[in-house]
Amino acid sequence: MMPHAGEFIFPNDLNGVAWTVMIVLYPYITGLVAGAFVVAALYHVFGRKELAPVARFALAASFSFCAFATLPLLLHLHQPQRAFFIMFMPNFTSAMAGFGFIYSFYLTLLAVEILLVFRTDIVAMANEKGVRSLLYKLLSLGVLRETAKSKEIDAKWVHALSVLGIPAACVLHGYVGFIFGGIKANPWWSTALMPVIFLASAIVSGIAMLIVLYIVFSKIRRVKVDDECLRSMMKTLWLFLILAVVLESLELLNMAYEAGEEWHILSRLVTEKLRFSFVYVQLIIGSAIPFVLLLIGWMKKTGPRTRVTLGMISGLLVLVQVLSMRFNVVIGGQMLSKSFRGFVEYIPEWQGREGILVAIGVFTMPFVLLAAVSQILPVWKIDAHDHQA
């Protein structure tokens, strides 16, 4: 720093950042949607049979997160009553305009796939007596019988939807990355790597979330954690974690090496403003430590009990890593005043519509829904026809 050069931010930045913790939460939740779906697809499409114990649950989790992915956005909008304008009068030069359509498509796809995957069970329960069966009658779409032929057709559709869901998940989340990557005014965001980084970290977060939920639900249900399944998930997580961290680091390395006009302020952003959330949390606690833990965890020699412990710890750490990554991108990018001569102050708000308390509430909702879904549908059942597909 030159002796006389003080900080200067554009006057409108004195009011703080425009995108708050809700916009941190939004890509986090959509990331979990995409990641969880990838696990289901690994089983349905890529024949990773060892993932059978979590295949159905992964779908249910993906759907539960997807159902609440728009809630943080709605809470963020300053004119929420006009939210649907984005689908009624979309301006397609905006990276944001496609969101409503991509999101609706994906939510529909997930809902349909779930109805078909669970159809045999739904039909069986719909044919039972009692009030509860009414719900299943609704879910069975009023057709209360299955034939061998219909099961075969359904299995084909499930396979097709799983295949279609993979590019859809990539589009859904790569697209979220583009919302940031396409902003040339902000050098911390403006990189073609952004969609890929978001996608990689989405898959990472989804697998980590499934590992954690699988272990927690197994404890609650008092069942043994399937060792092969957990090992496979940890191995996949390890792989994608490497990919995500390498991409994230490459982006930064490239900026630092090129050391362009904005690097003087970006380097200060990383080392001063984001030192805790980027260097300590995202890189060390969230990436380096789980990298080692997962490596030990997926090795064959490791015992099943240790594996569960390692899976749980590394899963949680990776979840924190991805959350901090979202924070570092969304909030970090806005800390950079467009004057490139100073930093916008970010003061997290606890109460209020966009406060942390509401954010916690919003993030709880997918879990409530998931718990409800797991009560209604046999998410832990390993189905025979799944194996055929």
Partner 1 sequence: MFSRDTLHLWILAGALALVGVGFFTVRSLTIPPSFGQFGHFRGAALETAANKERKLTTRGDCTACHDTLKHEMGKSHERVHCIECHGDGKAHMTSCKDAKAAAKPGVALTCDKTDLMPTNIKDICLHCHQDTIGRAKKHPQIKFDEHMKDNDPKDPKSPMVCMQCHIPHDPDPSNEPDGAKEDKDDEAKPAEAATPTAAPAAATPAVGGAE
Partner 2 sequence: MSCSGNKGAKDTCCETQNQPTGLLDASESRREFLWDAVKNFTFGALTLTVIPMFIEKADAEEVHTGKDGKETKGHTVIFGYLVDTTKCIGCGGCMLACKKENDVPDGQFRTWVERYVYYADGSVRVDANLKGKFAFSELPPINPKEVLKSFFVPKLCNHCTDTPCIQVCPVGASYKTKEGVVLVDYEQCIGCAYCVQACPFGTRFINTKTQTADKCTWCYHRIQHGEKPACVDVCPTGTRTFGDINDPESEISKALAENRIDVLKSYLGTRPKTRYIGLTAEVV
The yes or no reply on residue 89 touching partner 1 (CB under 8 A) is: yes
HSE (side-chain half, CA atoms, 13 Å) at 303: 2
| Block residue for tokens 């984001």 | 274
Among the residue ranges 11-19, 70-78, 145-153, 247-255, the one whose residues contact partner 1 (CB under 8 A): 145-153
Q: Which does 149 bind (CB under 5 to 8 A by kind): partner 1, partner 2, none?
A: partner 1
Question: Given the complex with partner 2, which of 14 and 216 has the nearer CB atom?
Answer: 14
Task: Tell me the chain's radius of gyration from C-alpha atoms.
Answer: 22
- Residue 135: both structure tokens together: 């719900």
Question: Given the complex with partner 1, which of 113 and 226 has the nearer CB atom?
Answer: 113
What are 325's strand-pairing partners? Answer: none
Shortest approach of partner 2 to residue 206 CB, angstroms?
26
Helices marked H in the chain: 21-44, 52-67, 71-76, 85-88, 99-117, 119-126, 132-139, 148-181, 193-221, 227-258, 263-268, 289-298, 304-335, 356-376, 384-388
Dist CA 283 CA 317 (whole Å): 11
Shortest approach of partner 1 to residue 44 CB, angstroms?
18
Q: Which does 99 bind (CB under 5 to 8 A by kind): partner 2, partner 1, none?
A: partner 2
Binding mask of the shown chain, residues 275 to 314, with x at each position contacting partner 2 by CB under 8 A: ----------------------------------------
What are 343's strand-pairing partners? Answer: 336
Q: Which does 108 bind (CB under 5 to 8 A by kind): partner 2, partner 1, none?
A: partner 1
Among the residue ranges 10-18, 119-127, 238-246, 369-377, the one whose residues contact partner 2 (CB under 8 A): 10-18
Shortest approach of partner 2 to residue 127 CB, angstroms?
21
Among the residue ranges 167-175, 216-224, 331-339, 363-371, the one whose residues contact partner 2 (CB under 8 A): 331-339
Question: Given the complex with partner 1, which of 29 and 139 has the nearer CB atom?
Answer: 139
Shortest approach of partner 2 to residue 3 CB, angstroms?
6
Work out which of 18, 143, 284, 368 binds partner 1, going by CB under 8 A. Answer: 143
Shortest approach of partner 2 to residue 84 CB, angstroms?
9
Using CB under 8 A as the binding criterion, the count of chain residues that bind partner 2 stands at: 45
Q: Are 221 and 380 in contact (CB under 8 A)?
A: yes
N-terminal to C-terminal alpha carbon distance within the chain = 63
Work out which of 2, 3, 88, 301 binds partner 1, going by CB under 8 A. Answer: 88
Dist CA 312 CA 212 (whole Å): 5
Burial of 84 (0-12, 13-18, 19+ CB in 10 A): exposed
Shortest approach of partner 2 to residue 344 CB, angstroms?
10
Shortest approach of partner 2 to residue 184 CB, angstroms?
6
Burial of 39 (0-12, 13-18, 19+ CB in 10 A): buried
Among the residue ranges 136-144, 167-175, 200-208, 315-323, the one whose residues contact partner 1 (CB under 8 A): 136-144
- Residue 246: both structure tokens together: 């390498």
Binding mask of the shown chain, residues 80 to 119, with x at each position contacting partner 2 by CB under 8 A: x-xx-xx--xxx-xxxxx-x--------------------
| Block residue for tokens 């993932």 | 51
Q: Are 309 and 231 in contact (CB under 8 A)?
A: no
The full length of the chain comes to 389
The yes or no reply on residue 119 touching partner 1 (CB under 8 A) is: yes
Q: Are 285 and 317 in contact (CB under 8 A)?
A: yes
Kindly identify the residues of this chain, within the stretch 184-213, that bind partner 2 according to CB under 8 A: 184-186
Question: Can you say whether the dihedral through the CA atoms of 367, 67, 54, 296 is positive or negative?
Answer: negative
Shortest approach of partner 1 to residue 91 CB, angstroms?
5
| Block residue for tokens 């006057």 | 11
The yes or no reply on residue 85 touching partner 1 (CB under 8 A) is: yes
**Strand, helix or coil for residue 166:** helix
Buried-exposed string 48-83: b where 16+ CB fall within 10 A, e elsewhere: bebbbbbbbbbbbbbbbbbbbbbbbbebbeeeeeee
Q: Residue 8 — φ and ψ, nearest 5°?
A: -145, 125
The site for partner 1 (CB under 8 A) is made up of: 84-85, 87-89, 91, 108, 112, 115, 119, 140-143, 147, 149-150, 153, 157
The site for partner 2 (CB under 8 A) is made up of: 2-6, 8, 10-15, 18-19, 73, 76-80, 82-83, 85-86, 89-91, 93-97, 99, 179, 182-186, 334, 337-341
